[in-house]
Amino acid sequence: MQKKISLSQFEESVFSVIYPYLMKGVRLFNPEFGHNLALVSLRLGLCGGKNPWQDDPSLSLQAMGLKFPNPVGIAAGFDKNALAVTALARLGFGSIEVGTVTPKPQPGNPKPRLFRLMKDGAVINRMGFNNNGIQRLCAQLAKISNVGNGVKTQANVPVGVNIGINKIGACPERDYPLQIGLVSRYADYIVLNFSSPNTPGLRDLQQPQRMEIILQSIQQLQPNHPPLLVKLSPDLLDAELEAIVEVVMNNHVTGLILTNTTVSRPDNLQSDFRYEPGGLSGRPLRQKSTEMLAKVAKLSQGKLTLIGSGGIENGADVLEKIMHGADFTQLYTVFAYEGPPVISRIKRELVTLLKQYQVRTISELKGVALS
Ligand SMILES: Cc1cc2nc3c(=O)[nH]c(=O)nc-3n(C[C@H](O)[C@H](O)[C@H](O)COP(=O)(O)O)c2cc1C
């Protein structure tokens, strides 16, 4: 019998042939220019006009009271200023996290500050929270707000806002609540970034006593916030992690993101840029961040929503994170290398894997690898 090929499958096949060449072309530019080019193309609708892949119902899930069409989200840092939210949703991401945003606009660190480690499937960045500030981010989200209809934007998938602090003049106990107050009406969830390695002193906010003071100030000043998550560094020690999980569980935090980039440098990195200062993401981060996810899953005993982020390159990597306790996942580096076709590829691989495991929904596999 002849197999019918739908238009969307046809489009997907065409894209998967064209994009490798297109992405090769993008790599001729320096990485930050390539990134900006991708954002502009998305905004102008030059790439990813529509989601070529209708999400299989087996990929849908619920977390934090929100519905997600699939577990593959775009991580923070790609769309820092919320310029391409609806375009990213049309590409097929199941959730979108914008930011990191800070109270005031700031230029970030001097360039160059973004490095491709091609041989390692990795990136090192020391962007330093370059962004337009919370006011302009809110104005962007206001343009696409969708009040009173499930999720809060026209993206029709959950949109999280990741917030941080400025390099100069920061006061975390003031700045996190202030930004939460401004962005709560547009955000389906909010992430407190305490883990970027490129803002001096930021990771010190992960010290449990300090974190507790900030969380208490949020609760005091902005008690009616959307679900709140904390994004952690993969470089925390086990003892620190235990104390942090206890603090967040006692202070109105709904979940954790495991993990941000690492300042460690595995011995087997091969690329020339491997010793550039900054946060390492992509393939070399995968195992480290999944191990931390598993530890947190055991410590939190199902009481926290967990997002797995770090080194995802295929459907098996997504499933590995879910089996180690993640509710859903996020990726960035592989998207920077492969472009939009990677989203459909990963979702297709996931659907095949779910059939092999003979489950109806992906959530049935949550935590099954935790011993
Ligand atoms: C260029 C770049 C910029 C990033 N910027 C941010 C950021 O602003 N805030 C944040 O929380 N994480 C940021 N991240 C970390 C990612 O959100 C993600 O957690 C990390 O890269 C691990 O996922 P990956 O291995 O799939 O890239 C950034 C990552 C990269 C590569």
C-beta of residue 331 within 8 angstroms of C-beta of residue 312:
yes
Q: Tens of pLDDT along 29-41? A: 788 888 888 888 8
241-269 residue pLDDT tens = 999 999 999 999 999 999 999 999 999 99
Mean pLDDT (the chain, rounded): 92
Residue 110 and residue 27: Cα distance in Å, rounded?
Answer: 21
The neighbouring-strand residues paired with 163 are: 101, 192
Cβ neighbours for 246, distance < 8 A, ≥ 6 positions apart: 208
The pLDDT of residue 8 is above 70? no
Distance of alpha carbon 247 from alpha carbon 207, whole angstroms: 10
Q: pLDDT value at position 371? A: 77
Exposure letters 112-141 (e unless 16+ CB within 10 A, then b): ebbbbbeebbbbbbbbbbbbbbbeebbebb
70-101 pLDDT per residue, tens: 999 999 999 999 999 999 999 999 999 999 99
Instruction: Please indicate whether residue 123, judged by its CB atom, sits closer than 6 Å to ligand 1.
Output: yes
What is the CA(9)–ligand 1 centre distance, in A?
30
Average pLDDT over residues 193-217: 93
Whole-number pLDDT of residue 5: 47
Predicted confidence band at 9 (pLDDT cuts at 50, 70, 90)? low
Residue carrying the six token digits 């297709």: 348
Mean pLDDT of the region 336-362: 95
> pLDDT: is 216 or 51 the higher one?
216
Q: Which residues contact 355 (CB under 8 A, 6 or more apart)?
A: none
- Only one residue has tokens 């590995």, namely 320
Confidence band for 48, pLDDT divided at 50, 70 and 90: low
Burial of residue 262 (CB within 10 Å: 0-12, 13-18, 19+) is buried
Q: Which of 35, 113, 261, 314 to mutate to test the pocket of ligand 1 (most atoms within 8 A of CB)?
A: 261
Tell me the sheet residues that pair with 361.
none
In the set 41, 58, 195, 196, the catalytic residue is: 196
CATH number for 7-365: choose from 3.40.50.1820, 3.40.50.720, 3.20.20.70, 3.40.50.300. 3.20.20.70
Nearest residue to 229 via CA among 294, 296, 130, 310: 296
Q: Which of 81, 77, 55, 79 is nearest to 67 (CA)?
A: 55
Residue 333 CB–ligand 1 contact under 6 Å:
yes
Q: Which pLDDT belongs to residue 12?
A: 66
pLDDT for the residue numbered 345: 94
Grade residue 54 by pLDDT with cuts at 50, 70 and 90: confident
Ligand 1 in reach of 125 Cβ (< 6 A):
yes
Compute and round to an integer the Cα radius of gyration of the chain.
19
The residue among 121, 35, 29 whose CA lies nearest residue 77 is 35
Q: What is the pLDDT of residue 256?
A: 98
pLDDT at residue 2, rounded to an integer? 44
Q: Is residue 135 within 8 Å of 84, Cβ to Cβ?
A: no
**351, pLDDT greater than 60:** yes
Please state, in angstroms and rounded to a whole number, the distance separating the CA atoms of residues 47 and 14: 13
Residue 4 pLDDT > 90: no
Residue 197 has pLDDT above 90, yes or no: yes
Q: For residue 261, which of 309, 189, 314 has the smallest C-alpha distance?
A: 309
pLDDT (tens digit per residue) in 286-327: 999 999 999 999 999 999 999 999 999 999 999 999 999 999
CA distances from 196 to 137, 149, 172, 175, 284 (A): 19, 33, 14, 16, 17
Which residues are within 8 A (CB) of 299 and not within 5 positions of it... i.e. 6 or more apart? 241, 242, 245
pLDDT tens-digit readout, 100-137: 999 999 999 999 999 999 999 999 999 999 999 999 99
Enumerate the domain spans of the chain.
7-365
Q: What percent of the chain is modeled with pLDDT above 90?
A: 80
Q: Given pLDDT bands bounded at 50, 70 and 90, which one contains residue 147? A: low
pLDDT of residue 3: 45
Query: Which residue's alpha carbon is at the smallest distance from atom 13 of ligand 1?
Result: 77
Quote the CA–CA distance of 206 and 179 in Å, as a whole number: 19
Name the nearest CA neighbour of 229 among 365, 344, 109, 326.
Answer: 326
Mean pLDDT of 177-185: 98
124 in contact with ligand 1, CB cutoff 6 A:
no
